[in-house]
């Protein structure tokens, strides 16, 4: 790549540093700039492009924080190279993966569709209204007016009846899982999970010293017969499930299974942890029954995440906690990080109260629906290769069963070489020796239409080359 050829447009709405970032990123993705290539010194490039040093610095930092380059102390910035896990793909600069030009692995929305402007307006309104109080210590359970607005939302949209006192606002679902682990588990306790499941949850349970017992899924939800057997053997403290668009299988529980689960929790005295990150994203029906909505026994700890629906970087979600656990959860949250940022709580409160949440959600749903349908239509092509899947009719992912002779992990590596990032099923199995290598998860969340079409084309090409 010749850096002199970089064109920056002073009249564009896009900041100069982002323009520069994008052009260098493209050069890395297209391998015009190979691994370990040293980028020009900051001053040199600034001079060449006739821009401020800060523009180059910001572009390089963005490249670094996105994992395209690494900096070596005193020596400059170098084009970098990968690993997998759902979390590390979200957050860790990961060279080879970051270089993939099409990303079917992340279920996070593209930052371009975040409601940045309307949220910014809320932030400013809160700062004008509350001044320094927005930066004081927030009560541990979260800003009370926000908890109240969430209670209304749960009642209206989720058929969940609760009170502000039962809500603990958390810094994202992952913190919710961490707080549940610390409040409910001691070393040696058992947790039953679905298999496959979200590895961020099982990692948190294991970190607390708990033992994970996986139970298979049927088309109606967790396998109730297998579950009851395991319960009898291990006496679990918690059973962790995702009842709507399960991650990664995209499965939805039937109401019958939900009710049977509640009966089991009552009979055997354990808590159900229901992790709900996307029940709003139903593209066909509007039925949104959850365990929590049917929880007359008060045995469900409900986790709601806003990362997929709003913006992951807000780091906000909440728990609905059974009454007899409330004090204990509050103490755990205090020991964990005292309280969260009041500014974000107050701004989100205003975002809800001024109906921006509703607007944004219907905007997101419209975008996601069209991406969902596009990917679904493209996937049709793969049926001739013995690839099968169920139409989830919601959520952000598809879960594809591969034909017998294909290894998901090998497919992941072959796709990566062609610039396509997918998730192999191996990472979703909590017990390493029972990992299955025959599924892949494809998300359309961060991709545009062109990328969806191109990505499925790459996948088809790799499968074709692989199997025949």
Rule CB under 8 A: which of 345-384 touch its own copies?
Answer: none
Interacting positions 16-55 with its own copies (CB under 8 A):
17
Q: Give me the least distance between CB of 109 and its own copies, in Å please.
A: 9
Our finding on whether 386 is near its own copies (CB under 8 A) is: no
Closer to its own copies by Cβ: residue 157 or 165: 165
Q: Give me the least distance between CB of 33 and its own copies, in Å please.
A: 20
Q: Give me the least distance between CB of 60 and its own copies, in Å please.
A: 10
Closer to its own copies by Cβ: residue 194 or 349: 349
Contact 324, 292 (CB under 8 A): no
Instruction: Indicate if the alpha-carbon torsion angle 61, 63, 66, 67 is positive or negative.
Output: negative
- What are the residue ranges of helices labelled H in 208-338? 224-234, 255-268, 326-337
Q: Which of 83, 334, 370, 377 binds its own copies (CB under 8 A)?
A: 334
Our finding on whether 135 is near its own copies (CB under 8 A) is: yes
Residue 388's alpha-carbon distances to 89, 376, 420, in angstroms, are 26, 12, 20
Our finding on whether 418 is near its own copies (CB under 8 A) is: no
Torsion, Cα of 124, 127, 129, 130 (10° steps): 160
Closer to its own copies by Cβ: residue 173 or 265: 173
Our finding on whether 90 is near its own copies (CB under 8 A) is: yes
State the binding string over 173-212 for its own copies (x if CB under 8 A, else -): -xx--x---x---xx------------x--xx--x-x---
Interacting positions 109-128 with its own copies (CB under 8 A):
110-114, 116, 119-120, 123-124, 127
Our finding on whether 311 is near its own copies (CB under 8 A) is: yes
State the binding string over 92-111 for its own copies (x if CB under 8 A, else -): xx--------------x-xx
Contacts of 434 (CB under 8 A, 6+ apart): 195, 214
Torsion, Cα of 209, 432, 394, 280 (10° steps): 10
Q: Which of 30, 65, 362, 388 binds its own copies (CB under 8 A)?
A: 65
* Residue 170: alpha-carbon gap to chain centroid: 15
Q: Note if the bond before 196 is cis, omega within 30 degrees.
A: yes
Applying CB under 8 A, the span of 217-225, 290-298, 308-316, 404-412 interacting with its own copies comes to 308-316
Q: Give me the least distance between CB of 55 and its own copies, in Å please.
A: 11
Total of chain residues touching its own copies, rule CB under 8 A: 75
Q: Rounded to the nearest 5°, which phi and psi values hold at 211?
A: -105, 135
How many angstroms separate the CA atoms of 293 and 274, rounded? 11
Q: Give me the least distance between CB of 342 and its own copies, in Å please.
A: 5
How many angstroms separate the CA atoms of 246 and 203, rounded? 18
Contact 306, 278 (CB under 8 A): no
Applying CB under 8 A, the span of 23-31, 258-266, 307-315, 456-464 interacting with its own copies comes to 307-315
Our finding on whether 131 is near its own copies (CB under 8 A) is: yes
Residue 40's alpha-carbon distances to 2, 43, 426, in angstroms, are 11, 8, 40
């Amino acid at each position: 790549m010749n850096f002199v050829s970089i064109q920056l447009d002073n009249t564009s709405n896009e900041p100069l540093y982002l323009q520069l970032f994008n052009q260098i990123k493209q050069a890395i993705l297209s391998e015009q700039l190979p691994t370990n290539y040293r980028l020009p010194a900051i001053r040199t490039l600034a001079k060449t492009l006739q821009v401020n040093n800060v523009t180059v610095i910001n572009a390089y930092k963005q490249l670094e924080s996105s994992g395209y380059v690494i900096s070596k102390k005193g020596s400059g910035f170098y084009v970098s190279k990968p690993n997998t896990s759902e979390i590390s793909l979200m957050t860790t600069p990961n060279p080879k993966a970051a270089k993939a030009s099409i990303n079917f692995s992340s279920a996070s929305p593209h930052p371009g569709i975040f409601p940045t402007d309307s949220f910014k307006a809320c932030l400013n309104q809160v700062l004008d209204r509350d001044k320094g109080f927005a930066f004081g210590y927030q009560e541990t359970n979260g800003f009370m007016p926000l908890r109240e607005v969430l209670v209304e939302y749960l009642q209206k949209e989720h058929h969940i009846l609760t009170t502000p006192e039962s809500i603990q606002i958390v810094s994202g679902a992952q913190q919710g899982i961490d707080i549940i682990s610390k409040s409910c588990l001691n070393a040696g306790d058992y947790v039953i999970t679905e298999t496959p499941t979200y590895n961020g949850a099982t990692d948190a349970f294991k970190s607390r010293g708990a033992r994970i017992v996986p139970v298979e899924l049927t088309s109606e939800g967790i396998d109730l017969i297998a579950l009851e057997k395991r319960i009898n053997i291990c006496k679990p403290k918690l059973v962790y499930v995702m009842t709507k668009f399960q991650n990664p299988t995209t499965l939805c529980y039937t109401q019958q299974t939900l009710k049977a689960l509640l009966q089991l929790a009552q009979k055997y005295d354990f808590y159900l942890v229901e992790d709900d990150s996307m029940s709003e994203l139903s593209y066909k029906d509007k039925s949104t029954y959850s365990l929590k909505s049917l929880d007359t026994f008060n045995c469900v700890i409900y986790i709601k995440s806003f990362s997929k629906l709003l913006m992951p970087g807000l780091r906000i979600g909440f728990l609905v906690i059974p009454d007899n656990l409330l004090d204990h959860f509050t103490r755990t949250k205090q020991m964990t990080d005292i309280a969260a940022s009041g500014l974000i709580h107050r701004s989100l409160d205003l975002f809800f109260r001024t109906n921006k949440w509703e607007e944004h959600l219907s905007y997101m749903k419209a975008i996601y629906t069209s991406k969902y349908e596009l990917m679904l239509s493209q996937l049709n092509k793969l049926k001739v290769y013995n690839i099968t899947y169920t139409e989830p009719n919601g959520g952000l992912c598809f879960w594809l069963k591969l034909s017998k002779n294909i290894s998901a992990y090998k497919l992941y590596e072959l796709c990566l070489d062609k610039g396509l990032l997918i998730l192999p099923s191996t990472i979703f199995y909590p017990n390493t020796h029972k990992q299955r290598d025959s599924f892949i998860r494809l998300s359309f969340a961060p991709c545009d239409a062109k990328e969806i079409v191109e990505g499925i084309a790459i996948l088809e090409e790799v499968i074709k080359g692989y199997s025949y």
